[in-house]
Amino acid sequence: MATFVTRAQWGARARRSSNTNITPANGGVTVHHVGGSRVARGSHADCAAQVRGIQNYHMDSNGWTDVAYSHLTCVHGYVFEGRGERQRTAANGTDAGNQNWYAVCALTGGSSSNYDAITAQLVDAFHLAIARLRSSGGAAAAINGHRNHRATECPGNLYPLVQDGRLNPGGSRTHTVRAGETLYSIGQLYGVPWMSIAAANNIPEPYTIRIGQVLIIPAA
């Protein structure tokens, strides 16, 4: 279970102004990462300072009114309150993106082959952040990535989790079958017995699946 960290708790500066001109019922939640090199802190005690640094950069170097994101998530299972619900973000790269979508940023980064560990606690933190943005912020159910708004590699290695539904707090994980995959390899991917996936999707012997098929992934 993830833990919410309020702005007061992480030592946020006051926002310079408020902008509630948004329509998140027409979009949903966009996933980001810090990017660049690996940035996840080894100790959670260092995460609040990292968030303060991001806010300072956005306010002092970019000249924005506040940290750009609605919330930020760390690999230790914490959600840092960003602009929060009902506030327009500055993170999604387009006017429509900022109008219709909230923004949640993971404190992760790195190259595809040398990326911060995507922990179960980080996934839990996304579930909490997205659930809040839906229940208190009126976000629609869709989840996408920064790259769906404009050309960017963001959110890096988190993008497969955006695509297969693992970040969805509804808990109904799905997986879209790719070339070369089998029920066995997909089971390995999620830590779920492949027979459970076959049963959940009513797949009979000889357990044939096809590329593009969307599978429900049951709880392990």
Contacting positions for Zn ion (CB under 5 A): 32, 44, 47, 74, 76, 146, 154
28 bridge partner residues: 101, 142
E strands along the chain, which residues?
3-5, 28-33, 71-73, 78-81, 101-106, 110-111, 114-115, 142-145, 173-176, 214-217
DSSP structure class, residue 9: H
Of the pair 14, 151, the CB lying nearest Zn ion is at: 151
Of the pair 12, 215, the CB lying nearest Zn ion is at: 12
Cβ of residue 215: shortest distance to Zn ion, in angstroms?
28
**Coil, strand or helix: which one is 204?**
coil
Of the pair 32, 83, the CB lying nearest Zn ion is at: 32
Of the pair 12, 186, the CB lying nearest Zn ion is at: 12
Of the pair 146, 173, the CB lying nearest Zn ion is at: 146
Phi, psi of 102 (to 5 degrees): -80, 170
Residue 125 near residue 119 (C-beta atoms within 8 A): no
Cβ of residue 63: shortest distance to Zn ion, in angstroms?
18
At position 51, the amino acid (one-letter code) is V
Of the pair 36, 170, the CB lying nearest Zn ion is at: 36
Total count of residues recorded for the chain? 220
Distance of alpha carbon 103 from alpha carbon 24, whole angstroms: 11
Cβ of residue 3: shortest distance to Zn ion, in angstroms?
10
Cβ of residue 180: shortest distance to Zn ion, in angstroms?
29
Q: Which two tokens stand for residue 167?
A: 């970040």
**Coil, strand or helix: which one is 52?**
helix
Cβ of residue 169: shortest distance to Zn ion, in angstroms?
19
Cβ of residue 19: shortest distance to Zn ion, in angstroms?
19
Distance of alpha carbon 84 from alpha carbon 137, whole angstroms: 8
Taking only Cα atoms into account, the Rg of the chain, rounded to an integer number of angstroms, comes to: 18
